[in-house]
Each structure stands twice: as structure tokens, then as C-alpha cells.
Amino acid sequence: MDSLIRFDAEIFRLINMRLASGYLDIVMPYVTEKFNFLGAIIVAALLIMILGNKRDRIGLVVLVALVLLSDLASNLLKQVFLRVRPCNALDGVRLLVGCSGSYSLPSGHATNIFAAMVFLTLRYKRFFLLFLAIAVTVSYSRVYVGVHYPFDVFSGAILGSLMAYAFTFAEKRFFKDKLKKALENPEDDRGSFEA
């Protein structure tokens, strides 16, 4: 176990210190901040609610629930594992954003972004590469800016992906008809964003 922890710390140092560049020092702090994308997310949600068909709107409702519950799950697990963030545990960390006092494992950002992007991939398969690139970039940024170990991010990616599959299954199996009725619109003959 100690050797795995040391290996994780070495990979962290590689990404955070030795693979650093001036360009990434500008880009990664921007990418890692969720609120930088809040406007685009709100606009996309409004467009889906206005222009999307029933399936698109149902997906939006499920996606919001998924992200909220994935955030809750990651926060609960942090209280189980109690892993201290590298910016609080290691010397010489290149810290490009604020270092939270909360615990590190799993990464909430990685959990949330993988939950969202895997869920969207299962619905809109032709955008798979775009969704994967977004999830990997946001997750990588957490190590680059100095606030998570690689294993934190990997664990968050697994947790978020599993939750996305579970929510997709639950939507198809249990919630589809109920959500459809809740979002019923008799004039709804518009096209879907579905790929």
C-alpha cells in the first residue's frame, strides 16, 4: 500500500512540476474552475428546454439529478477515506488555485464531469470524443493545479462513470414514463438533439 501511495505522489509531481508549461499555467486554472462555465451550461439547458424534444428534456432532468448525487457521493466518500490533499501534504507543490481544507479522495470535479460526460455519451454517441476530451481535461487540471493526486482523479472518474451507467439504466427502466408525463407538451413535435 505504501508503494502505491509513493507511486501516486511521484506521478503527481511529474504532472504538477515537471510537465508544467507557461501556457498550461494559464489554461488549467481556468479549466478547473466550474463557475467559469456556468453561463454556457445555463444557455445550453435553456436551449434544450425550449428547442429539445421530450427525450432531450428528460435527459436534462436526469443529468441534473446525476450531477447533484455524484457530488454528494464524492463528498461522502471523502469523509470515509480522509486523504489529505497534496497541496496540504507535500512540500514544493506548484499551487495554481486555492487549496481547500477538504479531503481529496475521490476528486469531486472528476466524479461530476465523468458522470455528466459518460451520461451524455450514452445518449449522443457521435460526440463521444468531445465528451471524453472534456472529462479528461477537467480531471487532468485537478492534478496540474496541485489540488488532487492522480488516484483521486482516477477514482472520481470511475465513480462518476458507474453512476452515469446506473442513472441511464434507471431512466430507461423505471423513470422514463413518469418523467415523460411530467414534461408532457402537446405541441412537442420538434426534432431531438440526439445523434
Write out pLDDT tens, residues 50-80.
Answer: 888 888 888 899 999 999 999 999 999 999 9
Report, as an integer, the average pLDDT of 144-150.
98
**Confidence band for 180, pLDDT divided at 50, 70 and 90:** low
Counting every residue written for the chain, the total comes to 195
Contacts of residue 100, defined as CB under 8 A and 6 or more positions apart, other chains included, come to 85, 147
At 157 the pLDDT is 98
At 176 the pLDDT is 63
At 186 the pLDDT is 46
Contacts of residue 73, defined as CB under 8 A and 6 or more positions apart, other chains included, come to 111, 159, 163
C-alpha 85 chain-centroid distance:
18
Q: CA torsion, points 149, 150, 152, 154, in degrees to nearest 10?
A: 180
Write out pLDDT tens, residues 4-56.
Answer: 999 999 999 999 999 999 999 999 999 999 888 888 888 888 888 888 888 88
Q: Which domains does the chain have, with CATH numbers?
A: 2-92+101-182 (1.20.144.10)
Cα gap 155→149, rounded to integer Å: 10
- Let me know: does 152 contact 139? Beta carbons within 8 Å: no
| DSSP letter (8 states) at residue 191 | P
**Confidence band for 195, pLDDT divided at 50, 70 and 90:** very low
